[in-house]
Structure 1
């Protein structure tokens, strides 16, 4: 009897070992601006997230973990974003949040996530990590990414007189403008004018006339893709010289910029986290999967969204077996040399909870993006 009992116990133990681990569902809240002023970035970003999700599911790299994404539209409204983050944190019990899209939404909504102790992986351009120690970024800060543009522009274009146009109601665009302006002024490059707009502006007639009358050799525009294109079109219609070099922010690395700007944006120079023609194997896999799913090539925002979920997934994988909020937050702090489609191909989260990976300086040539 003792032998039979011992054998039965051993059989049960072996059966427990041999049985596949029980599936673990991890809920991820995704508040994105699928409509409204920030949709130019959010729609491809959301598509990038969905592409990454399909890849993760197909690869099985997360083992017994299933990711459940709750994707909701903020409508580019900071109050709606705050409501969604609160819902994800308190009602849906999300283990991590991806978003919101814009800095305006993020600064309003992320204090809720910080208070509730939910790790956030944000793609907002501004340095939203200052909200608190539960907030991380999956893309470089504005000042960091714009330094590459400033250095190359100073060395290759030798600007002497510069005017700046930027969104005064968006911290990210202010920081991006300052990232170049501060570097230029440190090199003795003169600031001739600083002109501001707000995100809802559409008529730039007066601004265009003023820009055309300035004695400048360089113009930097720091705002959304569509607005940047419209400012350039109207400024050239007002008489802005073709000899004025136009610089811009990562927003210009969008198909919307090319679509709206047409021939007017030829020769525009800007910095981008992502370059479609990068020859890395990971980028080729991403481009093929994205085009197969959405019938269009990915832009910088699609790549940032793809990277956003990959960063979160790496932390979730490392957070097992608990997979709770605290474990995921701790794991995010250890992300190092993660393969990425951004910049130089390796991403590390630094002590400021922001990533480093490099950037590309691009120009528009023949209606397409190319390396400067």
Structure 2
């Protein structure tokens, strides 16, 4: 059942009283009360499609299992975070205090996700991150009640270092926007590449969200590296790939990327993207039964093709199902709930997925090549890759 925050409030279905500290105390209703999931995602603006896909994936997983968690009905309460970090703590607090949600689900934007992490740590509310790749969420800010079903920005980028080295590339230029996701991705690639003996000879950063690349492309041409590694996504990825080809660099200096370079952008990039190599934890064409059945069910339910954002939301639902089934829907059995989620093996459309001690996915990272306008899997760049989770000190 998918409802908005306003609908939930008007229906008068909030069951809870307020403690002296200001946080909602649950009324003991056994297995009759619904488990509430607060989906704090972007539903307007640049990331609206990503927010919608993530919630669609979550909803599909729940509906395929009777819309229940551990025998209890589920309500999804939606709140538009507008991809605005400054409002994230207040929005997350509102879902917990006013809407009495049992689970926070969000979000796409890493800055907003970190605001949610802060509130989750303060309140002990279960937080599931279905997209944002900010490393600190499962690194220095890790906690027993914080889980991610997507990736860290390090994860897709690190394996490309070995791919590049094995192709004989020794000098590489990197380019990204100057913001957290790009900088973390570049650092991951650099770590993998330089550990083998390669060298990132120049790190170019572009002010976010600038898409004027001509001066940067001229600099790349002058540096004459063996290849270029990049992190761009969305409209920026479309513009960069087309400009790179138009500048005549595509056939001279191979372009490599974290998979978001060609994820959801291929139609707009057209021929400029053909042949590009990227690394990511999913591809639409992944030839496994779980992916085929998921994509069929997603298209039937929502009338559109699934994407990585839908996959990550779907897997969040499967993880919650595994956890709550283990505790028979008891939201108070937190230690047992988190232990069951941590031990779960998800039959994901991306392939079998488990969780690291920091609660980040352990997953295959695929090497993909653009062929005929599709990201085609041509190998596994890194099997069962776990993020190093540097700085994570999970309580015993």
TM over 0.5: yes
Alignment-derived partner of residue 288 in structure 1: 296
Q: Is the 8 A contact 1:25 1:67 kept in 2?
A: yes
Would you say 1:201 and 2:201 are equivalent positions? no
Give matches, 1:113-192, under 5 Å: 113-122=120-129, 123-127=131-135, 128-129=137-138, 130-133=140-143, 134-155=145-166, 157-170=167-180, 172-192=181-201
**Displacement after TM superposition at 1:332 (Å):** 5.0
Task: Trace 1:54-73 onto structure 2 (pairs within 5 A).
Answer: 54-57=63-66, 62=69, 64-73=71-80
| Per-residue deviation, 1:317 | 1.9
Alignment of structure 1 residues 89-108 onto 2, 5 Å: 89-108=96-115
Higher helix share: 1
Q: CA deviation at 1:264?
A: 1.0
- After superposing the two structures, state which structure 1 stretch, 110-119 or 294-303, moved more: 294-303
**CA drift at 1:327:** 4.8
SS in 2 for 1:357: strand
CA 1:328–1:92 in 2, change beyond 3 Å: closer, same or farther? farther
**Residues 275-296 of structure 1: per-residue CA shift (max 9 Å, x gap):** 2223332222210011112333
Q: Which residue in 2 is equivalent to 1:352?
A: 358
Whether the 8 Å CA contact 1:169–1:199 is kept in 2: the answer is yes
Question: 1:88, 1:214 → 2: CA distance?
Answer: 51
Give the strand-richer structure, 1 or 2: 2
Deviation at 1:108, TM superposition (A): 2.7
1:329-367 Cα offsets, whole Å, 9 max, x none, are 53455333232222xx22222211212121211111111
**Alignment partner of 2:65: what SS?**
helix
The 8 Å contact of residues 147 and 179 in structure 1, kept in 2 or not, is answered as yes
Partner SS for 1:298:
coil
Q: State the aligned residue count.
A: 345
- Report whether the alignment pairs 1:49 with 2:55: no
Q: Please identify runs of 4+ aligned residues in structure 1 that moved more than 4 A.
A: none
Instruction: Name stretches of at least 5 consecutive residues in structure 1 with no aligned partner.
Output: 1-20
User: What SS does structure 2 have at the residue aligned with 1:361?
Assistant: strand
Name the residue aligned to 1:236. 245
Q: 1:236 to 1:67 in 2, by over 3 A?
A: same
Shift of 1:43: 3.3
**Measured at CA, do residues 304 and 252 of structure 1 come closer, stay the same or move farther in structure 2, by a change above 3 Å?**
farther
Alpha carbons 1:48, 1:305 under 8 Å: kept: yes
Q: Is the 8 A contact 2:162 2:196 kept in 1?
A: no
Larger radius of gyration: 1
Q: CA–CA distance in 2 between the matches of 1:148 and 1:82? A: 34
- Structure 2 equivalent of residue 109 of structure 1: 116
How far apart, in 2, do the equivalents of 1:64 and 1:144 lie?
A: 35
How far apart in 2 are the matches of 1:88 and 1:353? 23
In 2: Cα distance, 1:368 partner to 1:321 partner: 41
Q: Over the residues paired in the alignment, what is the CA RMSD in angstroms?
A: 2.3
Q: 1:349 to 1:363 in 2, by over 3 A?
A: same
Q: In structure 1, what is the Cα distance between the partners aligned to 2:33 and 2:326? A: 14
Q: CA deviation at 1:63?
A: 5.3
CA–CA distance in structure 1, aligned partners of residues 176 and 333 of structure 2: 37
Q: Structure 2: which 5+ runs fail to align?
A: 1-29, 379-396
How far is 1:40 from its partner? 5.2
Secondary structure of the residue aligned to 2:99 is coil
Cα distance per residue 1:221-271 (max 9 Å; x no partner): 11323212211212332332413221111323522x112211111111111
Between 108-117 and 135-144, the greater mean CA deviation after superposition: 135-144
